[in-house]
Structure 1
Amino acid sequence: MNRVIVGIISEQTIPNYLFIKEMFQIGDKLLFISSQKFVERIEWIKQSLGYVNCSIESILFQDGEEERWKDMESKLLAQLSSECSYIINLTGGTKYMSLLVQNVFERYNSQFFYIPFPKNELLKLSDNDSIALNYRLTIKEYFSNYNVTFTEKELVKSEAYSDYFFNRFVDGTLNFKAIDLLRSYRNIKKKIAVYSLESCTPTEKKPQIEGLGDFLSNMNFLMKEAGYLNRSEIEYLTGGWFEEYLYYKIKKYVNPQDIKLGVLIKRTENTNQNDLDVVFISGNKLFVVECKTGILGEKMFNETVYKATAIKETVLGLSANTFIVSLATEDEKLKKTAKNMGIQYKCREDIENPQLFENFIMQIKKTARD
């Protein structure tokens, strides 16, 4: 008897993808049920699966038809067979559509499941006990299910050096003036000689950075090419070090199933791109950490929060968790603003204080586990 895995498609694609990856066996067929509104999401799931020799069919309801029981029933009955066994995921779709699917498929050899997403478990109808959902997503799979492509940065320095840089920041022994002046050079495409930055005729866009060589020597900062700073090194010195610091800490203490640094995401149907500092998946939930070595005022903070919220709502899906981590001192007003927008804000004390940092890590682990 042919096995057919059935999914009802709606806004969130991840539950359907996880169900298929958990249940699929070679030789199985796939059947997607959806309103016309979500037909593109079927394609997102199919491209994410990448199944080549698998029969995949769809039953699509036209606009308004998903509220007409008899019309939907007729469409389903016309495509079902008593020679197949059906494994149905009732998680997606409207409640009305889900009720219809259950009603129709009960007339056939069928098993019904539900994923209480974002929990990693399956509930089988008529059973009390849940079934562990063992499949674990990669970041590539997660983004692909939302039609998002991405690139990532390479690490510039080791974990030990990022720890060293953080400690120098905390004890106040960095040359903050040189770092601030370097920000004007973050978008360069070529390497820049350190001596040219120290002795150039200063302009508003290209300031002179006196003592840069001494600063780099004092920081034991080894350049890829002696005497020259490239773009990634300038980005590291002007804030990228904090991204790498948190990347290493999360990788070490959270042990996520996948983690990326400096992710540039793009929805394939448009040209808009968004930078995400640290991205990782734990417990099949996506986490995004935006890193700021300082928040300069309420206006800049609000812009950061609104950007993070917009990306979460339009690109990352309901299960995404976003943190803004700043090395500015604690500000309860800013924390409250972020919380009201569904974003978690962590300040300098949360990172510098060992107990508070452990609490931060435990919060991530609990969210991933719940």
Structure 2
Amino acid sequence: MSPGELLNRRWTWVAPMVGLSLVQIPLLVGGIDPGRPWWATALVLCGQLVYTALCVAVPPLVWPRTLTWQLGCVLPVVALGCVLALITTPYTLVWAAVMSAAVLPVRLVLLVNGGLVAGLALLTWQEDNKGLVVVLISVTAMCLSLAHMVRTHRELRLARDRIAALAVAEERSRVARDLHDVLGHSLTTITVKAGLARRVLETTTAGDRALAELVEIVHLSGQALADITATVTGERNASLAAELVSAKSALRSAGLVADFPLAVDDVAPVYQEAFAYALREAVTNVLRHSGGATRCEVRLGPSWLEVRDDGAAVATAAGSRGSGGGHGLTGLSTRLDGVGAHLEAGPLPARGFRLRVSAGEVAV
């Protein structure tokens, strides 16, 4: 929360308090003894104005503070109001009741204002001023309702801010995950093809092959840029068939045998986009982390996908295959949760690595 927002929320009570002060003016004027000298009346009114300003200033000063701080500010002001009520007019206690209701929790408000009502009743009962007791009780009830309304409004604003912050965090997580999924594969493939083109140019005179690889690099670079734009705008949709073609091309450029199915028709449509991201992540990890791999197999079913390679199974295969700053296999697992699919990844017993995605049911 910014300092400006905090200041605005601290002063939420000022407008209601000022409005109540306007309502209280006739009560204060009516409670002044007409037999007093004019200077005594002026002194009483000045004292009431100062006390009113003090009561208006307390709520923004004590929020958001601890209960000890609130009591330390409120109780002395209430005590001062009691003194002023004895020497000026009992209606001063109305302001003390308003201020305590604006600041303290409900239980303490009932305790403090209940004490004010009881004390006022004892002092004024013989003076036939019972109406003031009724006014004090009514003001307390009104202020409790107003305090509940203000606090509810404040909680709603805080909840709105938290929802907005969570939405921003979720969007950042989505962009980070999608950028990893998009750029991880594209840049890895570009690196592989650039290395192949360099080797071709260094070892042979097969300029046509090198030119073809360079053309493919240019195409992949443009596609990566388009993918970034689509990711940022939230309009990117992965195609399992397109990922199958792209993965096969990348693996063959790296010198691996790509044993892939010819079509993706067997996969249920509801899973195809999620499986496309899984295939992209798996093939990217094969290109990055499979030491000495010569072959990569992909198998598809109605509600499952499996990718295997015969690379060296390193000791931290699960961790290395899921690298990506927390957006590799972790991000993929989060994406798969959205369609009810489960991710399994780990080294094979003899040699190689396996990534399998499976869902419990096939959507019709």
The answer to which structure has the higher helix fraction is: 2
| TM-score (ref. length: structure 2) | 0.25
- Higher relative contact order by CA 8 Å / sep ≥ 6: 1 or 2? 1
Q: Tell me the TM-score normalized by structure 1.
A: 0.25
> Which is richer in strand?
1
Which entry has the higher C-alpha Rg, 1 or 2?
A: 2
